[in-house]
Structure 1
Amino acid sequence: MAKKDKTRLHTSKNPLSENIRGSMVQLLQKHLGTAVDLTYQTKQAHWNVKGMNFIAVHKLFDELHEVTEAYVDDIAERLTGLGGQAHGTVQAATENSVLAPYPLDLVKSEDHLKRLADSYAHWSDEVQKGIEEASEAGDALTEDLLTEVGRGLDKSLYFLESHFQG
């Protein structure tokens, strides 16, 4: 059974209509949950990676964590700027994330790299859909934010996939 949407907006002088703000808050809740989820997927990999090129991959995962953590703040601030209430807890993230749960038994650097690449690629695809949704709604600022996030996700995906190319 689908849960009923209960998006309540705070009063705002934001020029977008309440309907558009409400739909953008819903869109951004999904991306906030996904950003929180991916932030901790990268930390899970960072904490547990073993094997060849350990230190390089360990540091890469920490860098990816920092970049993704910045998306959390940017998305949450846009969401609240539209009058929404950010659902940024770990529990809320599990309800809102579009990502599959991260396996807790991965150890090999190659396995972490591949699994994170899957997560980054999946979120990147969802961000593309969000860009289109924001554009159709006429919310250029949310569209721009998601474009920036998408550009960063693609760069991170490049860093992950480069371990397997060539």
Structure 2
Amino acid sequence: MTANKSFTTRIDLPVHVRERMRALLQQQVADTFDLYSQTKQAHWNVKGAQFYSLHELFDDLAGELLGQIDLLAERITALGGLALGTVRAAASASRLPEYPAATVDSLPTVEALAERFAALAASTRAAIEEATRAGDAGTADLLTEISRALDKALWFLEAHAQK
């Protein structure tokens, strides 16, 4: 079975719209899964005076990302597609910069994650616009929900770095 495999659905969006939305959502799955793994990397390795609060925050943020991945993947399958969610699939398709593995100090870790959360939030807003133009209100609404959560996560990260 390949990623192009499609399944019958009674969702009344044109086939070309469903195909485009599945590709758009699959890209979001890859980027979000990559951000999840980078957030766990930070969670495991953060050091410094803010260790405990950041360790907990990063774990909470990673958990929220897992929930978002599930929502995105389920929308792909609802639109008649096959969701690809392996680590290898995400790594090969992600548009996010690689996490700097040597970054462990509190504030540089926060900055690295904030940069990546901001990038995913921006691409999510672009995806909302594309889904809206395509006439897929369901996908646009799902992405809007995720956009709000990413903005909140970014706020939490940025608040730690502000003086």
- Residue 10 of structure 2: SS of its match in structure 1? coil
Does 2:122 correspond to 1:120? no
The equivalences for 1:79-158 within 5 A come to 79-158=76-155
Deviation at 1:19, TM superposition (A): 0.5
TM-score, normalising length: structure 2: 0.96
1:7: Cα distance to partner?
3.0
1:48-106 per-position Cα deviation (integer Å, ceiling 9, x unaligned): 01111110010000000111110010000001110111110001001222201112111
Report percent identity of matched pairs.
45
Scaled by the length of structure 1, the TM-score of the pair is 0.94
Distance in structure 2 (CA, Å) of the matches to 1:87 and 1:109: 33
Unaligned runs of 5+ in 2: none
- The alignment covers a number of residue pairs equal to 161
Letter in 2 for 1:105: A
- Listed as ranges, the matches of 1:45-60 within 5 Å are 45-60=42-57
1:3 matched to which residue of 2? none
**RMSD between aligned residues:** 1.0
Paired amino acid for 2:71: D
Q: Are 2:110 and 2:161, in contact at CA under 8 Å, matched by a contact in 1? A: no
The answer (yes or no) to whether the contact 1:7–1:26 under 8 Å persists in 2 is: no
SS at match of 1:11: coil
Match of 2:74?
77
Structure 1 ranges of 4+ moved more than 4 A: none
My pick for the range that moved more, 131-140 or 106-115, is 106-115
- The answer to whether the 8 Å contact 1:45/1:112 transfers is yes
**Structure 2 Cα separation of the partners of residues 138 and 144 of structure 1:** 11
The corresponding residue for 2:20 is: 23
Residues in 1 aligned to 2:134 and 2:86: alpha-carbon distance in whole angstroms: 27
Structure 1's unaligned 5+ residue stretches are 1-5
Aligned-partner SS, 2:57: helix
